[in-house]
Structure 1
Amino acid sequence: MGFLDRLFGTQQHPELDPSSETAQRLDELGEPLKNLAHDLRDKLEVVMGESGTFVFVGKPPKQFGVMWLEDGKLVNFKEYAEKNKLSSKELNQLIERMKSAYTRHIDEERFSATLEDREVVVHPSNQFEHEMEKIINSVSH
């Protein structure tokens, strides 16, 4: 079943233990993440590390958007790229680096959780979060 789940995108993840540290941290992220879960119908995957949180929207690693929490607010990668005046080439390079990072961590344990009456995937990974942070911080404009 694992192969077919991956092929058709219906992979099931174990339920996140509500008493776990990860569940408590997810709850502490508060309104920005809950609003996103309420407003978007696309699949959401929340990557949580020690120092930050990234949200993949859509179907990574092929078609996706990325947002992250900064000072309690969600930052949209597309708006971030426009603000930093990234060229198409720079933007594509960053996207490819994000795809590669996602692929490197694809076999790590993920969990299912409910936010605003919808299921989201929670991916607790300090290493993945740090890698995403490095990619975003590599923008030097």
Structure 2
Amino acid sequence: MTLLGPSAAPSGEELTRRAQAGETGALGLLIARHQASMRAVALSLLGYGPDVEDAVQDASLTALRRIGDVRGGAAVGAWLRAIVRMACRMRLRALREVPGLDGLDQLQLSDDEGSPPERHIVRHAMRDWTWEAVKGLPQH
């Protein structure tokens, strides 16, 4: 038995129109329909890990705020996937920034490390070695 008529699931266009009118349940249905493809995009960009779910969640919140930007219900899937890609890129960009390493130049050296010029050389060598080690770490 097939379900047709009034009990059939609403189309993407209808759900988009209803979501744009302020019906949050319609947006929830849209996101539920496209959640697998949204997760697939996040997995392809971030790999397995907790960031995948976080990126999908961030994209869902962005979709809630910006549902009015969608032009036509047929494009909502591509629009949601684009939002996930942006959320993933922002997460990857944040991973590249290594906080807390700016102060490596001010490492305190003990007195047994020689005269001021030698301390300066040791300090710079330590900083260069540390940055090279950080660059060698995996992205995750």
TM-score scaled by structure 1? 0.32
**Bigger radius of gyration, 1 or 2?**
2
Higher helix share: 2
Q: Which has the higher contact order (CA 8 A, sep 6+)?
A: 1
Higher strand share: 1
